[in-house]
Amino acid sequence: MDNNKYIVMACDCDPDRVQYGGYSYGEKRLIWNGVTKGIPAFLEGVCRLEEYYKCRIPFTWNVRVDDQIKQVFGNADWTIKEYFDIWDNLRKRGDSLCWHPHLWKWNIQNGYWYQEVKAEHWIEECLSSGYSAFKEIVQPEKVFVHAGWCFQNNFTMKILNELGVIADYSALPGMRDDGYRAGKAAFTNSFDWQITPHRPYFPSLNDYRRNAIDNEKAWKLLEIPSFTFKGRFLSSVISAVRNSKKLPGLFGGRLPGYVKLNPTLNPYVFRTLVKAFNKSQRNYVIVYFHADETLKKHSKIRSLENLICNIEILKDKIPGGVFVSFSELYSYLQIDNVNGIE
């Protein structure tokens, strides 16, 4: 890698969540105003910034192709087909499309969606059919993943590796969440990257959260962690809020210590991320937001205006900062050869 500091801005293109005008987790319906209205409005602002700075500001769009989409619309690739013109225009800009599979499963008995992290047969089917559908319709040179809820475990890592996924960027070093309740549904939002290093690595077959040690074998799939940093005050506040919603029977909740900051947050808060990045020795930063956060009327905390302002902060305050898509970042990384790769 050269002396540039690479900045990857990514967006999870999910349906609108409840707090942004979406349907509840107890309904088999999904609405996409974030994708159809939020993204085009956002791009107008990005074009103005590109003209002002006279540089490209490419984005990475993580698109849903999975079992929930199939359950609601009949086909796993419905999102790509229905909004084909939107994705096509983004690719013409030089943006990347990555795969964003969620493990949403419908609880038939109680009628709600929840995060399925245990039923391996179902998870394998969800990921395998989603991968085939994504690959066939998007035809990417390489398939990159940003997982729903940033969740991975040893089993999902094995399946993604076997399918041929080249890299995943779900890791959030230092962070762990044991889940929380969303409304009345027993939905969890759990992930565990507590021991993960702040650098790309080939995950150990024994523990996806770290590289292989001693004689362990590693997956071929490269894990490229997003940027997190120690923010004692911020992480304590975030943990307290999330833990107030945690599921009964869970003891950990969100672990305080490390924090990631979303680029739709207030610029005064977001500046702490840029300061932490500049202090670190790291040469790339990945930050992401959600399509519904670009909708104007729903959130007092996150907004399109914040996002535009935070892009300016990234551009102005990171010396040597260059905006790249995730696939460009992957091609710039020089990863040492590792023994024992599966």
Interface ranges with Zn ion (CB under 5 A): 12, 14, 148
Q: Which is nearer to Zn ion, 14 or 116 (CB)?
A: 14
Using CA atoms, how far apart are residues 174 and 209, in angstroms rounded to an integer? 10
CA distances 210 to 61, 165, 196, 285, 334, Å, are 26, 18, 5, 19, 18
Q: Which is nearer to Zn ion, 148 or 321 (CB)?
A: 148
Q: Which is nearer to Zn ion, 189 or 306 (CB)?
A: 189
Q: Do 127 and 163 touch, CB atoms closer than 8 A? A: yes
- Residue 297 CB, nearest distance to Zn ion (Å)? 21
Using CA atoms, how far apart are residues 11 and 190, in angstroms rounded to an integer? 20
Q: Which is nearer to Zn ion, 103 or 276 (CB)?
A: 103
- Residue 211 CB, nearest distance to Zn ion (Å)? 26
Closest CA to 69 of 118, 14, 107: 14
Q: Which is nearer to Zn ion, 14 or 293 (CB)?
A: 14
- Residue 12 CB, nearest distance to Zn ion (Å)? 4
- Residue 58 CB, nearest distance to Zn ion (Å)? 20
Closest CA to 143 of 62, 248, 262, 206: 62
Residue 88 parent element (H or E): helix 84-92
Q: Which is nearer to Zn ion, 148 or 200 (CB)?
A: 148
Closest CA to 12 of 102, 105, 83: 102
Q: Do 18 and 34 touch, CB atoms closer than 8 A? A: no
- Residue 147 CB, nearest distance to Zn ion (Å)? 8
Closest CA to 143 of 208, 63, 43: 63
- Residue 101 CB, nearest distance to Zn ion (Å)? 9
